[in-house]
């Protein structure tokens, strides 16, 4: 069984997220999503999510491409996750190109193109301008 892992916040879930998850799942048999916790988002990424970790987790678990959701609690956990979950392929959006090449001795690293016309930041900005 080929195991794939990806990481993200997945707040305001949209079709760009679904595209990423679908393409990630196509690279293997079992897809693990490491979902950023609320604390990690606030303390390390300096982002406040609209939806809580638990709600974002429930949404991801309802998507047919996702087999398991685990918490992302630190930047440093990726190497350990790859070992612990016997990961064959690490997948992330191409806005991170090169940043996770340090995992290449442990597994394949794939940077997938983002869906260009949509992002959570864009959705938040559009909603803000509508209400502004």
Choose the catalytic residue: 2, 22, 25, 47. 47
Residue 2 annotated in active site: no
CA distance 42 to 48: 6
> Count of CB atoms within 10 A of residue 52's CB?
12
- Residue 74, token pair as written in the block: 């630190």
47 catalytic? Reply is yes
The tokens 């390390």 sit on which residue? 44
Name the active-site residue from 2, 45, 99, 104: 45
The DSSP secondary-structure symbol of 123 reads H
At residue 61's C-alpha, the angle toward residues 75 and 8, to 5°, is: 25
> Could you list the active site residues?
45, 47
């Amino acid at each position: 069984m080929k195991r794939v892992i990806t990481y993200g916040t997945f707040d305001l879930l949209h079709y760009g997220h679904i595209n990423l998850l679908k393409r990630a799942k196509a690279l293997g048999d079992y897809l693990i999503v490491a979902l950023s916790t609320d604390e990690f988002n606030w303390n390390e990424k300096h982002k406040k999510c609209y939806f809580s970790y638990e709600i974002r987790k429930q949404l991801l678990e309802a998507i047919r491409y996702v087999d398991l959701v685990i918490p992302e609690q630190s930047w440093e956990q990726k190497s350990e996750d790859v070992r612990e979950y016997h990961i064959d392929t690490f997948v992330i959006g191409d806005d991170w190109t090169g940043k996770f090449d340090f995992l290449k001795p442990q597994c394949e690293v794939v940077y997938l193109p983002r869906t260009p016309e949509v992002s959570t930041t864009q959705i938040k900005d559009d909603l803000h301008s509508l209400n502004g």
